[in-house]
Amino acid sequence: MTARRWLTVILLLTPGLGLILALIGTVVYIAVAQSFGYFSFGAESQFSFEYWGAVFGRKLFARSVHYSLYIGIVSAVLSVALAYPLAIWLRKPFPGSMTIGAMLKAPLLVHGLVAAFLFLNIIAYQGLLNQFMQWIGIWEAPRRLQNDRNGISVLILQVWKNMPFALLLLTGAVQGISDDVLDAARDLGAGAWSRFRKVIAPLSVSAMQAALVIIFIGALADFSFQTTVGPTNVQSLAQLMVFFKGRGDWHSAAVVGVSLMALALIGSTVLAVAARFIMRGRVK
């Protein structure tokens, strides 16, 4: 591409992409600067590592990091793992396939906070699940299911909300695979699992990477599910950031925010590279 064409592309992208990058860059700059003591609201701004040392020295921060990574990684992997067989099943149209696909994608239209409250009514102490389990005789008395220590409720909601998004990406990628390729693999003796491992998954790895990365970032920084049905023994990084902000400690909140951005960048890169590496290994 010549220099003139590069200049034309840059000029065309500047009004939209340039504004977005400028806004994002400004926000990131303020967050980073505030984490080092600048943009102080109640005292003189000065450069300091004090807030980083104070936040990193808290056990609460380490637990929040581990918990948020756990929710982000498990949610992304489970969502993609459930979406793959559905995408393969819906690859070829059949009577009712459009209706099934629309029903599977319905969670995309429901706001996360609304879904969390609906789910809370189901698993509450006197909720539908407890009543049903008592009615069929499995439980003698109601059991506490909400705010479980392992964040199972959060994982269920994250997968329910994000699996349709992964399904959208993977369906397009799977439908783009030629029938001739799959038929050739079948003629060579490859079973359903072998065709998935050696043909479908490698050819749709880009969609898989995109789904993993986007779902991981969203689940890592989620706030609504955590505050509604999340565990009470540990806070996510988003909750911890709001906690510091509520105390007026904007610098510590900025430290958590910058850490969250760094974890999102590093974690998404690791997931994308791991997916590519695993698929290459399967092809061999």
The pair of three-digit structure tokens given for residue 245, joined into one six-digit string: 């902000």
Q: Are 69 and 220 in contact (CB under 8 A)?
A: yes
State the pLDDT at residue 16. 65
Q: What is 58-283's CATH number?
A: 1.10.3720.10
Domain boundaries, the chain: 58-283
Q: Are 184 and 166 in contact (CB under 8 A)?
A: no
Tally of CA atoms within 13 A in the half-sphere of 122 that contains its CB? 10
State the pLDDT at residue 6. 67
pLDDT more than 90, % of the chain: 32
State the pLDDT at residue 281. 57
Per-residue pLDDT tens over the stretch 3-46? 677 677 666 666 666 677 777 888 888 888 888 888 877 667 78
State the pLDDT at residue 147. 79
Torsion of CA 188, 199, 73, 23, to 10 degrees: 180
Residue type (1 letter), 245 = K
State the pLDDT at residue 2. 65
Query: Measured between alpha carbons, how far is residue 42 from residues 30, 90, 249 in Å?
Result: 16, 58, 10
- 3-class SS of residue 142: coil
pLDDT < 70 stretches in the chain: 1-3, 6, 9-18, 42-43, 280-284
State the pLDDT at residue 265. 93
Distance CA 252, CA 61 (A): 11
pTM of the model: 0.86
